Amino acid sequence: MKPVAALTLALVLPVAAQDWARLRTGAERTIFFKAAVPLTGFRGAGFLEALDLAAPLRFGNFEASSGQTAGGAITKKLAPGLTPDEIAAIRTALRRGNRRIIAYSVPAIPSEEPSARALFQFARDLDIESIVPAAAPQAAPLIDKLTAEFKVNVAAGRDVLRLANAAPAELGQRFLAAWREKRKPLVILQPAGSVSGLSAELDAYEAALVPVMSEYVAELGRTTAIRTLDAQPRLTAEQKADAIAKMSAALPARPQAQPRKPRRLLVFDLQVGYPGHPSIPYANWVLEQFGKKTGAWEATFSNGLANFQYERLRQYDAVFLNNTVGLLFNPPEMRAAIVRFLKEGGGLAGYHASTHASIDWPEFTEIIGASSGAHREATEKVTVKLDDPASPLNAVFGGQSFISVDEHFRWSNYSRQRVRVLLSIDVPATDMNQGRGCDICTREDNDYAISWVRSYGKGRVFYTSLGHGPATFMDPKIVGHMLAGIQFALGDLDADTTPH
């Protein structure tokens, strides 16, 4: 297996799972575009009232202004001069819902140090990220000094993009130009007098981000190598040899079903905003070696997004998502190509974190069967039951339940009305409160699926949450289950997909 390019992750930082639900939040720590919702448009409302009025937006970045009143019981302006108790009351209101002031607009930054110092002290007291002066700052040495001392930014000129009444396509071109110039702008939406107006502004911002995120991910795909065991710097020669010996022993001698024709499998392991799971290169090794050993498929390993153009995609029988995470599939034409490929009979297989890919795209959640996924410890020990013992994908288990030590996901949006469950947690036989707490890990119906299949048009989808760590690919039964799932996705292993 030859890597397609050198690995580059310079701009990729971990992003909380909930941030992937929208480009507007996922973009903050990937392409470093940050937006602020102005709270000056609500007539007669002070800052605190406007903050509460904006709560239904479920968006936590706001712009405040020195010209607006603080609100609530505070009749003063939201400006230097507030008492410590008044500052504390505003901080408490911001903490509710994890809200923050990322832009604080002022007419100008004072040129006299005492007044400028008071402004920066006020900003730090409220954890304000950037002061945004309407007039170009003049006292550059003083501002540099106070910025370093108080750890508060000053954003002005080309660092700030205020959204005019422009179509998303026009905004998209403006954002794309900023991105290509390597700027990381503070985007301030237009003030609106209602939540619906602000929601429309956020939606326009979301649409305008698509070209930028698409270009970013495409470049990431071109420059990010498929992960191989040879490229793991912490893996010694002895450890590599031991892992290969164990994975070789876990590989079945032959495919569960003979291919009906030569099969092509596209393997994709790109991560956006996440460093990736340690199991990824082990999965790639197993997929390559099993294909070579048995002739079950010819695997193409590439993170190039050009493969998801329809004419390229249709050359493959199935796509394998190797623990993929993040805002991967952004252009509308790419999404349409994936849907068409599957509906016309293509296959999709994925494991573990692949439900964390493109969770901002509802159709992808429908395709793969769930999105995101909460978990307890990465070493949670559960008893796994066979929900469909007759499925050929479960043949390797011989009709017997088994113990799994892994990072087992729970989903709020998975449903047996959509998928046919193959494996799930045997709740009565499992301690469901092991290790660290998890407020969103409990379902009222106690239904915690692990593996499933589904039909999507004429296409076939297989998913399993197993596979957090490398040991997965050294377990003959789990490997056999996954390989059978891939053969199902390729179209060589027939299985009932009727939801039950």
Residue 213 sits in the same domain as residue 291:
no
Contact assessment for residue 194 and residue 8, using Cβ atoms and an 8 Å cutoff: no
Per-residue confidence (pLDDT) for residue 15, from 0 to 100: 54
**Residue 209 pLDDT > 70, yes or no?**
yes
Alpha helix (H) residue ranges in 298-424? 310-313, 332-343, 362-368
Question: Is 416 inside any structural domain?
Answer: yes
**Residue 164 pLDDT > 80, yes or no?**
no
Residue 385 sits in the same domain as residue 304:
yes
Residue 161 sits in the same domain as residue 230:
no
Instruction: Answer with the one of 192, 220, 248 that is the final residue of a domain.
Output: 220
pTM, full prediction? 0.90
Residue 141 sits in the same domain as residue 245:
no
DSSP letters spanning 275-322: ---TTHHHHHHHHHHHHHHH-S-EEEE---GGGGSHHHHTTSSEEEEE
For residue 53, the domain's CATH number is: 3.20.20.150
Q: What is the pLDDT of residues 376-430, one digit of tens each?
A: 999 999 999 999 999 999 999 999 999 999 999 999 999 999 999 999 999 999 9
Question: Is 269 inside any structural domain?
Answer: yes
Number of domains present in the structure of the chain: 2
Q: What is the pLDDT of residues 225-235, one digit of tens each?
A: 999 999 998 99
Per-residue confidence (pLDDT) for residue 18, from 0 to 100: 66
Give the separation between CA 393 and CA 485, rounded to whole angstroms. Answer: 6
Residue 126 sits in the same domain as residue 61:
yes
Residue 23 sits in the same domain as residue 156:
yes
Q: Which two tokens stand for residue 202?
A: 């956020």
Question: Is 12 inside any structural domain?
Answer: no
Give the separation between CA 497 and CA 324, rounded to whole angstroms. Answer: 24
Give the separation between CA 56 and CA 202, rounded to whole angstroms. Answer: 12
Residue 323 sits in the same domain as residue 355:
yes
Q: Which residues form the domain of 232? A: 226-490
Q: Which residues pair with 455 in a beta bridge?
A: 460
Per-residue confidence (pLDDT) for residue 170, from 0 to 100: 85
Residue 288 sits in the same domain as residue 423:
yes
Question: Is 37 inside any structural domain?
Answer: yes
Kindly list the distances between the CA atom of residue 319 and the CA atoms of 150, 271, 326, in Å, as whole numbers in the listed order.
50, 16, 17
